[in-house]
Amino acid sequence: MQSCAEHLHTGDRVLTLFGQRVQAAHGSIALTAIFYSASAGLVLRRGVARADDSFDSLTPKHPAMHIFERELWEQTGITPVGHPWLKPVRFEGQRQQRMDDYPFFKVRGAEVHEVGVGPIHASVIEPGHFRFMCLGERVHHLEIQLGYQHRGVESLLLQRPPLTLTALVESIAGDSSVTYASAYCAAVEALAGVSIDPSASLVRGVALELERIAIHLASVTGLAGDIAFLQGASTYGRLRTAIINASMRACGSRFGRGWLRPGGVRFGLNAERRTDLTNTLAAFAKDLAEINALMRSARTVSPRLQGIGQLSASAAQDLGLWGLAARASGLAVDTRACLPGKLYESFPVEEQTESSRDCWALMQLRLKEIDASVRWINSALQSTDLDEVSQPIHPTLGLKPDHLCVSTCEGPRGPVMHVLETDSDAKLAHYKVQDSSLQTWFALAMSLRDNDISDFPICNKSFDLSYCGNDL
């Protein structure tokens, strides 16, 4: 852990820390930490420990480590001594039967009261429990308990041949099918020593940006509904339908499932599909501009969002945030820009940030990113690289033995990371999946401090985090 502390002290940003049991060495646990360095890119650090080992927690000095140390303790038994809030993340294994024993924080005071919401909610959403510590209507602290739909995804991914996992990977977080599939495909292609041609890479980029637009529209639709701006809710919902229907015409699925496969894509963008998508985006952009102008100018919108759910740049930095939540607090952290790969090197993304650090910033940022994604897709559709598309690789193709691959893909909420490792027999020994929501849920809790409890639906929808991205 000393090397981790050194990286954090120099300003490197942590992406993950996890452990996995080493089959060949009974009781041994391999530790893996991955950092981003502005000068060196991704930096990997590894070590070996035992389940009964302990170390001095890094969380008191580096809060970005808190969720990773908790997960490490829960999954391996290695204890971060001095961790300020050591408690389960998902209730691994037998702990699943004791979720009602979750040790919530307690706020003491004669007039302090607690309000519990969930885990089952009135609307059809995923389960999560929210415990508010309030003085009157003012929220002093929000504690979020998740894990209700923990599925053991990482162990499931080891039970099938590694090149046949796309359908399972696409279902890990249903609204981010393309993002997860893209990260998976890139990882197994690297381990198989396969390079895809530019046409397939560009098609994947179009699929990713269509998914980004669709999820951002769903978030803004829900936010407009929560503040009773019904014109926005209905129009953004209609526009989202236009985008996901365009995905359906391109690959047969409104959510992009079945579009990507290791080695290429199953459906290219021929002249007919490019024309259809170009025409769809042209009509979409016109209507989007009109409703965006109304959303930004309506007297009932900005007062309800501005100043609500603030999260400072320093807090976002301390929590190690990535993705949309970080950029809404002014931090320029977009892996499409800082870890672009060949695709975004050839077709650079317009990195967007906001400075107001509140719900208004999150809304504005989504609208700006939708516009940027439309421009990116239109630019990509002009490329001659789309004339030919590679075919997926054969499922029996082998992987390189004793290799570890780290794959990141910037999803609508932030980076999704897949870490795959093979053993000496070239079999998949470990599969780590991480959604950016894992780190961002605590940011939601921080943003609600000193706000009214009635502001929670707005803050929650503004962040619009993935429950299943946490409950892997």
Per-residue pLDDT of the chain (472 residues; tens, 9 = 90+): 888 999 999 999 999 999 998 865 567 899 999 999 999 999 999 999 988 899 999 999 999 999 999 999 999 999 999 999 999 998 887 777 788 888 898 888 888 899 998 888 877 678 899 999 999 999 999 999 999 888 899 999 999 999 999 999 999 998 999 999 999 999 999 999 988 889 999 999 999 999 999 999 999 999 999 999 999 999 999 999 999 999 999 999 999 999 999 999 999 999 999 999 999 999 999 999 999 999 999 999 999 999 999 999 999 999 999 999 999 999 999 999 999 999 999 999 999 999 999 999 999 999 999 999 999 999 999 988 787 676 777 777 789 999 999 999 999 999 999 999 999 999 999 999 999 999 999 999 999 999 999 999 999 999 999 999 999 9
Residue 90 contacts residue 139 (beta carbons within 8 Å): no
100, part of any domain: no
Give the Cα separation of 318 and 67 in Å (integer): 13
- Indicate the SS3 state at residue 21: strand
For residue 441, report the phi and psi dihedrals to the nearest 5 degrees: -60, -40
**CATH number for 285:** 1.10.645.10
Q: Are 281 and 374 in contact (CB under 8 A)?
A: yes
Asked if residue 95 is part of any domain, the answer here is: no
Residue 18 DSSP class? E
Amino acid letter for position 133: M
- Pair 80, 163 in one domain: no
Q: What pLDDT is attached to residue 240?
A: 98
Question: Is 0.75 surpassed by the pTM of this model?
Answer: yes
Hunting for tokens 């990773």 — which residue is that? 68
Helix, strand, coil: what percent of the chain each, to 5? 45, 20, 35
Count of C-beta atoms within a 10 Å radius of residue 267: 19
What sign has the CA pseudo-torsion 214, 339, 388, 188? negative
Q: Are residues 58 and 165 in the same domain?
A: no
189 and 82 assigned to the same domain: no
**Does residue 176 lie within any of the structural domains?**
yes
Beta bridge partners of 14: 35
Quick one: pLDDT at residue 425? Answer: 92
Identify the H or E element spanning 431: strand 428-434
Judge if 183 and 272 occupy the same domain: yes
**256 and 171 share one domain:** yes
Type of residue numbered 45: R
| DSSP per-residue codes, 178-235 | HHHHHHHHHHHHHHHT----HHHHHHHHHHHHHHHHHHHHHHHHHHHHHTT-HHHHHH
Residue 97, helix vs strand vs coil: helix
Evaluate whether residue 375 is within a structural domain: yes
The residue among 419, 413, 452 whose CA lies nearest residue 435 is: 413
* Distance (Å, whole) CA 129 – CA 122: 13
Whether residues 252 and 389 share a domain: the answer is yes
**190 in the same domain as 85:** no
Domain end residue (candidates: 64, 89, 114) = 89
Pair (362, 235) in one structural domain:
yes
Provide the token pair at 61: 């000095």
Same domain, 57 and 197: no
433, HSE (Cβ side, Cα atoms, 13 Å): 26
Q: How many domains does the chain have?
A: 2
The answer as to whether 130 is a domain residue is no
437-447 vs 456-463: helix axis angle to the nearest 10?
A: 150
User: Which tokens belong to 369?
Assistant: 């990113």
Of the residues 63, 89, 115, which one is the last residue of a structural domain? Answer: 89
Cis amide linkage into residue 119, ω under 30° from 0: yes
Burial 462-471 (b: 16+ CB within 10 A, else e): bbbbbbbbbb
**Contacts with 258 (C-beta within 8 Å, 6 or more apart), sequence order:** 166, 167, 170, 251, 252, 266
Nearest partner of 402 among 441, 370, 430, judged by Cα? 430
The answer to whether position 266 is within a domain reads yes
Distance CA 352, CA 331 (A): 9
In a domain, 114, yes or no: no
- 106 falls within a domain: no
Tell me: do 72 and 157 sit in the same domain. no
Q: Do 226 and 362 reside in the same domain of the chain?
A: yes
Please name which of 271, 272, 221 lies closest in space to residue 244, comparing C-alpha atoms: 221
Residue-number span of the structural domain to which 284 is assigned: 153-470
User: Last residue of a domain, which of 43, 65, 89?
Assistant: 89
- Which residues, other chains included, contact 472 with Cβ-Cβ below 8 Å and sequence gap of 6+? 90, 150, 151, 153, 154, 172, 433, 434, 435
Residue 324, number of CB atoms within 10 A of its CB: 32
Residues 157 and 83 in one domain: no
Provide the residue type at 135 as one letter.
L
